[in-house]
Each structure stands twice: as C-alpha cells, then as structure tokens.
Amino acid sequence: MPLYLITTSEGIGVYRDGEKLLFLEAKSEHIPEIMEGKLPREFVDEIEKRFKGEEILVDDKRIVEWLSQYLLVKLASDDDLREIKRIRRKIKDEMEEWNRIRDVSIRMTRERIRRASADRDKLIIQAIEAVDDLDKSINLLVSRLREWYSLHFPELNDVKDHEEYVQLIKKYGERSKFPEKYLEIAKSSMGADMEPEDLEVMRSLASRIEELYRMREELVKYLEDLVPRVAPNLGILVGPLLAARLMSLAGGLEKLAKLPASTIQVLGAEKALFRHLRKGKNPPKHGVIYQYPKVRGSPRWQRGKIARALAAKLSIAARMDYFSGEVVADELKSDLEDRIAEIREKYKKPPKKGAASRSRRR
C-alpha cells in the first residue's frame, strides 16, 4: 500500500491504508512554511529517517518540487486523491472530536480550579480564626502581666502599646535596669522591691507573650499571601484580614458570594440585629466592616451610608471571586471612593434629632 503525506494546519501526517504512521505537530513558526508548500527541515529529516526509499504520494505540486530532492515523492493520481480526501475528512472528524474533548476538559479544569479555590477558603477561615484566638489570648495575658508587674513598677502602665510593654519587661525585668528615659520614674516608683526569681517568672511570661505576637505575625503574613489567590477582588477592596473575616463570618467564599449586600453590611453584628428584631432597638448600621478605615474614620452619621456602599461593592467582589475569577477590584474601589466622597460632601453636618429618628423609621 502507498504512503500518503497529508498537510494540515495542525501538522504533517504520514498515512498508509488510512492508518496514521507518523504525525509531526506544527508550531506557530512552521505554519508559514507549510502554507507555502514547504516542510520544515526537521520534519523532512524525520520523514526521511522513517520512510527513506519508499514512495510517498502527495496532493500538492509545490510539496513534490520541495521534497523530491530528499525523498521519493510523486503527485497523487485521481484514485489516490480520493483516498487523500477520505483521510482528510477522517482527520477533520478526529480534530472536531478532539476539540470537543478539549473544550470539555478545559471546562472541567476551570471547575476544579474554582472548587479548589473554594476549598482553600477553609484554610483562610481557620487562619483568621487562629489570629482572633491569639488576639484574645494575648490581650488576656497582657492584662495579667500588667497587673502582676504593676506590683513592682506601676508607672510603666503609661506605656500604652502592649507589645512595647511586653518587650521592656522581657528585656530588663528589674526597674533599675530600664533605659535612661525610664530611670527617673523608676527611682521614685511606688512599686515594691522584688526578688530576682519573682521578676524572672514575669520575664518568662513576657517572653511567651512575645512568641504569641510573632506567631500572629506569621499567620497574618500567611493570609496576606493566600487571600489574593483565593479572593483577589475582596483582598484588594478591603485588605486580606477583613476579607478573611467576612469569609469566616459567612461560612466560606461561596456563601458570602450568595449573600445580599444588606446581610454583608451587618455580618458580625448578629447580637445587635437580634435585639432589633426582638425588642425593637435601633438596627445595626454595620458589622465587621466597621474595621474598614473609611467607615471607622467617618463621622457617626455618615458611617451607615458608607457601610451600605461598601457592602454593595463587597457583594459584587465576592461574586466575581467565586463565579468568575475576573479581577475588577480597581474599578470597584474607584466607584466606592467616588460614592464616599459624594456622601461626605452631601452629609457634612449631622442631621437634626427628629430627622434622624424619621430616617431610621423609614
């Protein structure tokens, strides 16, 4: 049976009796040569290596002229042309089937990636809850340390930063060993003198608290790396920590994406919401999104409106992260900034009491 050389946009194939013996996939740089009736030199070498001395039939005169210097090539007769056409139809059918399979595979891969991202939000939830647990533990232990160490050096409570306070105790212990700016206060301290072993226990506690601070920093760094990969729009819009807290409160990225903006606005304010529903108290204007600087730093009469605008953008960001993956956070952030500027301009002064009450009733 003769050999048939078939050229396609996907590559070059050599067939015998309808069966593919060799297929050389065309790269983008090969296509211009193939369209001109020429074969890339590496293709010629491979065909020559496999089929040297055998007659090869083709349906393109240009290829005959090009290959005849290397191989035994002839132009196909009418009967052979019919066979080549049949092989081309078979190749076309195979390629269409392959394209269908490829499209399905791409869709399945995208779905797996989306689900993998959704699964990774569970890692985010655990990490942010660990951060919150550490915050509670640190605050509890620092309060205990301050009360304990105040027996020796109560004036040090003027240092309001907890981490700085802990580091000072860990490093110096005895008040007389503190740096120069504290010595004058230390000399006239109202605190009691203590034995070195008592102070050593306090320094040990301070050392353990400092380790908790370092652990918290590591978790925050982990979240700063992970959140942009799982929820880039949320991360850019409100920062990785607040984005993580919203996912945690909602129960995951999927659930957050399906919540209305009005619910996102009060996530984290469930107790206040229940009081409103049960006892008719004023409804909460915001939940955990109060941590967003533009909400927290605004006058109280603007916060609800800014929180509502932010919740609307968060709702869009969560849906884009879960259902699409397209990053539109810069546009959302720009729109939000414009809306906040509009609110601040429109509501510069606080409303009168009666107007505020009527607004709440509405």
The CATH architecture one would assign to domain 3-76 is: 2-Layer Sandwich (3.30)
Radius of gyration of the chain, Cα coordinates, nearest whole angstrom: 36
**CB of 184 within 8 A of CB of 248?**
no
pLDDT of residue 273: 67
Q: Where are the domains of the chain?
A: 3-76, 119-229, 231-362
pLDDT of residue 79: 79
Per-residue confidence of the chain (362 residues) as pLDDT tens digits? 778 887 776 777 888 877 888 887 777 667 677 767 677 788 888 887 888 778 888 877 787 777 777 777 778 787 788 887 887 777 776 666 556 655 655 665 555 555 555 568 889 999 999 999 999 999 999 999 999 999 999 999 999 999 999 999 999 999 989 988 888 888 888 999 999 999 999 999 999 999 999 999 999 999 999 999 999 999 999 999 999 999 999 999 989 999 999 999 988 876 766 676 677 677 678 889 999 999 989 898 998 999 999 999 999 999 999 888 889 999 999 999 999 999 999 988 888 765 554 454 44
pLDDT of residue 361: 46
What is the C-alpha to C-alpha distance for residues 331 and 17, in angstroms, rounded to an integer? 59
Element (DSSP H or E) covering residue 73: strand 73-75
pLDDT of residue 108: 59
pLDDT of residue 75: 80
pLDDT of residue 154: 93
**CB of 72 within 8 A of CB of 55?**
yes
Please tell me if the domain spanning 119-229 has the same topology as the one spanning 231-362.
Answer: no
Q: At 299, phi and psi to the nearest 5?
A: -60, 150
Residue 286 has a CB neighbour count (10 Å cut-off) of 23
pLDDT of residue 116: 53
pLDDT of residue 362: 46
SS3 270: helix
Element (DSSP H or E) covering residue 16: strand 11-16
What is the C-alpha to C-alpha distance for residues 133 and 261, in angstroms, rounded to an integer? 28
**CB of 154 within 8 A of CB of 194?**
no
Indicate the pTM of the whole model: 0.62
Domain 231-362: which CATH number of 3.40.30.10, 1.10.1060.10, 1.10.3720.10, 1.10.246.90: 1.10.246.90
HSE of 49 in the Cβ direction (CA atoms, 13 Å)? 7
**CB of 48 within 8 A of CB of 24?**
no
The CATH architecture one would assign to domain 119-229 is: Orthogonal Bundle (1.10)
